Structure 1
């Protein structure tokens, strides 16, 4: 893994790295997004239910500036975006859309700080943002083309993202007194690699980005964040076949994936996952429904894809406790408030099934 230490890591005073502070056996966490529009209520829920690795809550139901792209764009340094009919576009100067994203983030920081003051600090906090390729795929240049089609703009956005996220992680560490882990969300990366993104006209497709180029840019961001926080970076990609080898090559210490969508794990993909897991890359397995299930889920059924994955890759169930964590399959923004509270408990129950299997 490419994780060079550099300088004093943010929030490192008392808690050590993520391996010691957050990845105790049986850990559960969440991807990040929550239902509703009340940041204090969301902060209280995630802190109370997920104290080992508390996800910094995101509330996309608040609209512009609270979704994954607008929220991440608000972290950028010396770059601004605005809302146009087609989505987010680079702006010449910060306007009301940019200021709204900053205001929402400040309210979230205040809410998390208050929740911590009430209940005590979590063992670790996880902050989330769009990764460089998802950000560059989702924001337009002034001419309407995607940022990723302009090498200079792409580089500027990646550097600005890294700088902004490092500052955000430092703020969260100062407000909570807890170590901070960064998660980069890359849902668009498979489309970037496959050349499946449409051009502005809708009649063509943006050329595929070569794997080595995608890995290099992502790796630069990951390296900077890992050095600043002193902890491995999580990269989340919920595609049925996430680019595991590329993510691992970019330095991801943990790969977050939707384990319910993997299907039959065979061939090259099985080799990628097995090699990554064997050589120390952790897996964050999305096993709990992200939206309200029709019936109360059976923990053994929820655990089954994880147990089958470990068996397929040649690992004993004990590896699921030592080198994996459990989360909902995706963000909880589409869930009811009740299920958003119950999903973490379901994740802990899945870990109990893993523990039982490990003892056999």
Structure 2
């Protein structure tokens, strides 16, 4: 094995997507393409009748090339140029997300009559990788933007996101409650977009997906007792993470207390989510015997390319250069985050298996 690679089982993607759709009957499920844009992954998602959350031109073109109906594409990125809006509209996209007046004015001009969901800024429980305050606006401002959008001929909804890898099943309640409160102000909502954020188990376990679906259903029933607007969800990680395993090898073991173990994959060629040690992946080796603490690092000459030095990891004392290491649960936000050629290292290769692998 000369290079690390990500192996994705598309049958697992299909099964997880089918489970997700079944847990949210009647909802518009839009897979977040950015999590893993492999064509075979998109084909697996398409097979269960789901659509796509797209962030720009390239993802729109990719989804349409795989046979997606443009009516099932939701342009979820609030940050977009006028030309990008015009491109999306010309290719049949009619659903967008926004959080700024200038963007709404651009949508009214370049995507007339479209559905725009105003993204709320909420104080949801902490997720593993939160968005901070980059996206969304306060509820009062969202109400003003929604009314302005209606005046400009757009249809409106509300959107929110509880942060990526959100472990708390109750985290979605505050967004649902806020949407209901704004709807009570006389705002007719054609959509409530509750985003993604559904987690998977890495080293720490999370509740089953059904528990999140149940909590969301309960919140919708409580705050929209007469029926809620059509629901849209943007799952990414939850559909593809468990379908992928990275196969990497040890480049160097440097003795010490603790040992340093350098892999041929690091923060710049696939493991970007180890920044701040946010995502703690499991590591599997073929070595047996006693283990000891290690600091894990990537292969580049950058001093920040260190994966885990605060999070405790132990690996076999017999580990040597050339040994294979597997990283399960790595199907999301790995290959799509890899740099083009930092230090001359190629982007993380992706290989697919399963019935969609050669579609």
Shorter-chain TM-score category? 0.3 to 0.5
Looking at secondary structure, tell me which structure has more strand per residue: 2
Structure label with greater radius of gyration: 2
TM-score under structure 2 length normalisation? 0.43
